[in-house]
Amino acid sequence: MIKMTEIDAYQYWMNQLVSRSPSTKKAYNLHFKNFLEYMKATPNQLIQMQKEALEDNGDPRENRVVENKVRAWLAEMKTAKSPATCRLAWAAVKSFFTLNLHPLRMTRLDRPQGESQGSRIPEKEEVIRIADAAKWKYRAAIMFLKDSGLRTSDLALIKWKDAVDMGDGFWNFNLITEKRKVAACVFVGPETTRLLEQFKNKTGHVFPAHVGTMNRELNRIIDKASVKNVSAHGLRKYYVTSLQHARVPQEYILRMMGKKNSVYSENRRSELFQAYRKAYPELSIYAAKQQTEELEKLKEELLELRKLVKEKLAQQP
């Protein structure tokens, strides 16, 4: 029988991550290599250390060498990295030991806490500022994200040939999401399709930019708009919150944005669209602004009319 230490622990781990997205595997790999440098050990040596610790029947406070090293590594990382980065690093290292069947003996309290810099949900007025700060395809990308709830990585999957006109400026796209490989029944509304219709080339991918480039540019635009503590991912949160305010059923929201849903809740496109269309005023960022401007204009006209009436009355004998 092959001993665990004779198995390539790193390759075994990578093989077990087959169901994870390429981006997740890449991130896990990067953080794990940083951990190896910190530990000054090979993957197989780590597994051997944990194996001996798990078999030790002595004082449990003395046989948690690896766990204590992980805690120290995370504490050091916390001084320079965001909470989200620390949580991802923790997930990578934890995954390595768990999938190699030598799990770390750590609790949920060991998981890095705190919110990240870009974790806040943007207000409607802030989404307007972000959209107004962008030009051409990036403006369309921002509107697409806030209308669809997709991840930035999924924008690269959108193709012109998959667009289905639902009428009145609403389009539908069906795709398998990049990260979770889940089917999404995506809708976008008039604020997005008006911009997409202005694109001259309507073949191939709608947003051909590289995911990394798209993310950097969108975050640069958010910074230009002076919107603090919000990232491009915040538009996905804006989508969820808006549909929840409109009382759209949770299973509908999950189905439309491409998140895991109950196998028993198969929703037809027509049902999803009716719910989405009804909720669109919550997603819309310019409808309220336009209504406010129209109301202010009516107030000005009313004041002018009252002034004229007052002048006419003053002229009568």
Which contiguous run of DSSP H or E holds residue 47?
helix 43-55
CATH superfamily of 124-285: Intergrase catalytic core (1.10.443.10)
Query: What is the Cα gyration radius of the chain?
Result: 27
3-state helix, strand, coil in the chain (%, to 5): 60, 5, 35
Other Cβ atoms less than 10 A from the Cβ of 240: the count is 17
Q: What is the pLDDT of residue 99?
A: 95
How far is it, in rounded angstroms, from Cα 302 to Cα 308? 10
Residue 145 in tokens: 């994200």
How far is it, in rounded angstroms, from Cα 35 to Cα 33? 5
Which contiguous run of DSSP H or E holds residue 172?
strand 170-176
Q: What is the pLDDT of residue 292?
A: 46
pTM of this prediction? Answer: 0.68
Please list the ranges in the chain whose pLDDT falls under 70.
1-5, 114-119, 261-267, 288-299, 317
User: What are the residue boundaries of the structural domains of the chain, listed by start?
Assistant: 4-110, 124-285
Q: What is the pLDDT of residue 81?
A: 84
Note the pLDDT tens digit of each residue in 277-289. Answer: 999 999 999 875 5
Calculated CA dihedral for residues 31, 36, 39, 42, nearest 10 degrees: 160
Q: What is the pLDDT of residue 2?
A: 40
How far is it, in rounded angstroms, from Cα 50 to Cα 28? 20
Other Cβ atoms less than 10 A from the Cβ of 188: the count is 28
HSE, side-chain direction, 13 A CA sphere, residue 275: 23
- State in Å, rounded, how far the first CA of the chain is from the last one: 115
Picking from 173, 197, 199, 198, the residue whose alpha carbon sits closest to that of residue 186 is 173
Torsion sign, CA atoms 155, 160, 164, 167 = positive
Residue 239 in tokens: 């989508």
CB 189 within 8 A of CB 282: no
